[in-house]
Amino acid sequence: MDLHENVESNTVTATFEFPGLKKEDIQLDLHNGRLTISGESKLSEEHNKDGYAVRERRFGKFSRTLQLPQGIKVGILEVVESLDSGILMGI
């Protein structure tokens, strides 16, 4: 995750990488000045049949909560979803 705060424009941009996930696999929740990104990465069925020599990718549920800086206007949350490239940006 990359987090960038622009004090002049009073904006925060968070960039997350979610390779292989679809928009439907990710949930965003904004509550009490906290932004929570959660979802689930599922194991591919077609590759589950054979054994693995090494398996380093993680599968399962994930969640990350960010406390937004004070003074940020929460009502102006704009989410830019470009999950074709596996990247989610929120402004």
pLDDT digits (tens, 9 = 90+) for 18-55: 777 777 788 888 888 888 889 888 766 555 566 666 66
CATH number, domain containing residue 56: 2.60.40.790
CA angle at 57 for the pair 64 and 29, rounded to the nearest 5°: 20
Q: Given this model, what pLDDT does residue 74 score?
A: 57
Name the one residue in this structure whose structure tokens are 């069925």: 45
pLDDT higher than threshold 60 for residue 89: no
**18's tokens:** 């979610």
49, 19 Cβ separation under 8 angstroms: no
pLDDT higher than threshold 80 for residue 8: yes
Q: Domain of residue 48: give its range.
A: 2-90
Number of domains in the chain: 1
Q: Given this model, what pLDDT does residue 20 score?
A: 73
